[in-house]
Structure 1
């Protein structure tokens, strides 16, 4: 089994989520189950069934995070010396060739990707188009609305 790459910052974020699930949310749902049990008949107790369902989601997320973190290859982006070449962990500023503005993305592991924060997965079409390119290169990216061209304005590596 290959080890999935993840940034050190992303691994820390996921460990914090795991810790919150274990120390805050898990005890809270156990308490909610206990309170719902105290209300009597469990067959028609919606609070009990909702709390049990929530417990299932929490336990599933805990198992998923533990498994992913145990198999992840943590990469310290600040230690990379790739220059202006785009590799895993790079923060890339792109300018649309038709003049619609700039976008900034960091290429991260699949588990930590979040487009709202500008974190794109290494397996995404955008990241695959950027990997190996240099600042100043023009890349064509296939999008649902058609092919779009971007110029790589800058490439930086920050922890």
Structure 2
């Protein structure tokens, strides 16, 4: 069996100012705090002698490799991201950064924010603009209905409200 993995499809390059700041803080923390600590621990483990039987040395090498991979990813990703720091001209439609309130056919009301794929996992109320529901809601106005094919069948959502201000 081959270890080849096809490349992932490119994700949207948009991010909110808060998301960009969070990624820059993570990069700074990895580079200035975590990586030097792991390098010190790795040097101490290497000084203990035989590396072939040194579990601490092996663990620290893997840990350092993971940190370095994340640093490389963040540097490349931050270079291509476009920070969207203002609301669109037409604030009655759904675009990137919108806070959306929608109701499904069961009467369940959900409120979420449409953000970039690099930040949707930072808050439970964030969804990626690449998600099927977000794509279906783009350029829609309150009162519009969208129907999606989901694992359990079809699901219909009614767009209730669009806002570009954080709910209070």
Query: Does TM, normalized by the shorter one, top 0.5?
Result: yes
1:81-126 deviations in Å (ceiling 9; x for gaps): 3322001111111111222x21122111112222852221111111
Of Structure 1 and Structure 2, the greater helix share is in 1
Give the match's secondary structure for 1:67.
helix
Task: Provide the residue aligned with 1:95 in structure 2.
Answer: 103
Q: Unmatched 5+ residue regions in structure 2?
A: 1-9
> Does structure 2 retain, via aligned residues, the 8 Å contact 1:90–1:156?
yes
What's the counterpart of residue 88 of structure 2? 80
Q: RMSD in angstroms over aligned alpha carbons?
A: 2.0
Within the alignment, does 1:143 sit opposite 2:138 as a pair?
no
After superposing the two structures, state which structure 1 stretch, 57-66 or 103-112, moved more.
Answer: 103-112
| 2:6 corresponds to | none
The equivalent of 1:38 in structure 2 is 47
How many corresponding residue pairs?
157
> What pairs up with 1:1-159 in 2 under 5 angstroms?
4-77=13-86, 79-99=87-107, 101-114=108-121, 117-158=124-165
Cα displacement (A) at 1:3: 7.3
Deviations 1:115-146 (A, max 9, x none): 85222111111111110111121111222212
Return the alpha-carbon distance in structure 2 between the equivalents of residues 75 and 23 of structure 1: 27
Separation in 2, partners of 1:114, 1:13: 12
Conservation of the 8 A alpha-carbon contact between 2:127 and 2:134? yes
The secondary structure found in structure 1 opposite 2:35 is helix
Structure 1 unaligned spans of 5+: none
Say whether the 8 Å CA contact 1:3–1:71 is kept in structure 2.
Answer: no
Q: TM-score, with normalisation over the residues of structure 2?
A: 0.86
Question: Aligned partners of 2:24 and 2:91: how far apart in 1?
Answer: 30
> Normalising by the residue count of structure 1, what TM-score does the alignment of the two structures yield?
0.90
Q: 1:2, 1:142 → 2: CA distance? A: 21
